[in-house]
Amino acid sequence: MNPLGLHAMVLTVGGDAEATRYAAAIAARAGYDLLELPILDPSTLDTEAVRAAASEHGLDLATSLGLSFDTDVSSTSTAAVEAGTQLLHQAVDVTAAAGADWMCGVLASALGKYPTPPSREGWNNAVAALRDVTAHAQQVGINLGLEVVNRYESNLVNDVADGLTFLDEVGNDHLFLHIDTYHALIEETSLDGAVRLAADRLGYVHVGQNDRGDLATGTVDLDGFLAALNEISFDGPITFEGFSRATADPALADTLAIWRSPWTDGEQLAVDALTFLQARMKTPATS
C-alpha cells in the first residue's frame, strides 16, 4: 500500500521541536507511515529534533512550503527570483538534513492571489529556477512535488495540463506533479481524468475535502479519485491535509482563507482519515 501521510498542521500549529515530537507521536499512534512538516521558514526547522522524532516513531518525512511574493521565482523582479531560488535551495538542504525524501508545495510561484495571468518572462523565470533547484535536490537525494493549486492561490500551474508543460520545460525527472483534491475539484474537468493525465509524472498526493475537514463527508469524490490512483498503480505518498481556524497557524490560515472551524479535534480527524484511506487503497499482491 502507498505510504499514508498526515499533514502536521492537522495536529499542531507550531513547527518547533516540541510540536514536531507531539505530531510524530500522534501520527504514529494513529498508524500513519509519514508525517509532512510545513517549512514556510526553512531556517527555523530543528532538523536534529525532527530526524530523531521520525526515527523514534518509525515515520517517513516530507516537507512542504509555498513561496511569498518577495520570494516569487515566477516574478519579473530579479531580486524576488534570486531570493526565491535561494530559499528553495535552503529548503532542500533542510529537507535532506531532516532525513525527508520529499519536498512539495507551491514551489514555482507565490502562494497567493495574483491580479493578472503570468507573463511569459515570469513563466520562464520559474522554469529556470526550478531547473536549478531540482538539480540540487537530485544531488542530495530529494524528490520535489510541484503542487497544482487553484486559481486563487497561484496563477502559474492550476491544472495537471499546465503542470505537465512546466515539467517538460524543466526537464528533470526528480520534479514530479503533486495533485491535491481540494484544488483539483475547482480546476480539473474530472478528478480521475487528472490522475490518468498525470500518470507516471504524479509523485505526491494531498487528499482533502472541499471544506478541509472529514474525508468521509463533503463534495470531493474521493472514491473515484482513489480508484484512479489504484488504476495507474500510483505508489507514492498520499497525505491527508485538513485545516481549521481552531488549529491552523494564523498567518497560513489567512493565506488559505481558513475563516471557519469545521472541526476542532485534529487527532480524531486524523484517525478517521487514515481509516478512510486504508479501506480504499489497494494492497499489493506481494509485499
Which span sits near Mn ion by CB under 5 A: 73-81, 152-160, 165-173, 176-184?
176-184
CB of 99 to Mn ion, least distance (A): 22
* DSSP E strand boundaries for 25-67: 34-38, 60-67
CA distance 109 to 118: 10
CB of 241 to Mn ion, least distance (A): 5
Q: Which of 129, 133, 151 is nearest to 142 (CA)?
A: 133
CB of 76 to Mn ion, least distance (A): 27
The single residue of 36, 147, 153, 188 carrying the catalytic annotation is 147
Among 36, 72, 162, 180, binds Mn ion (CB under 5 A): 180
Which span sits near Mn ion by CB under 5 A: 49-57, 198-206, 247-255, 273-281?
198-206
The single residue of 36, 153, 188, 241 carrying the catalytic annotation is 241
Decide: residue 79, CB within 10 A, 0-12 exposed, 13-18 middle, 19+ buried.
exposed
Name the strand (E) or helix (H) holding 205: strand 202-207
CB of 115 to Mn ion, least distance (A): 23
Asked about 188 being catalytic, the answer comes back as no
What single string gives the DSSP state of each residue in 252-270? Answer: HHHHTT--S-S---HHHHH
3-state secondary structure of 110: strand
Binding track over 222-261 against Mn ion, x by CB under 5 A: -------------------x--------------------
- Closer by beta carbon to Mn ion, 25 or else 186: 186
Q: Which of 210, 211, 209 is nearest to 277 (CA)?
A: 209
Q: How many residues sit in the footprint of Mn ion (CB under 5 A)?
A: 3
CA distance 22 to 26: 6
Query: Applying CB under 5 A, does 206 fall inside the site for Mn ion?
Result: yes
Asked about 147 being catalytic, the answer comes back as yes
Residues at the interface with Mn ion (CB under 5 A): 180, 206, 241
State the catalytic residues. 147, 241
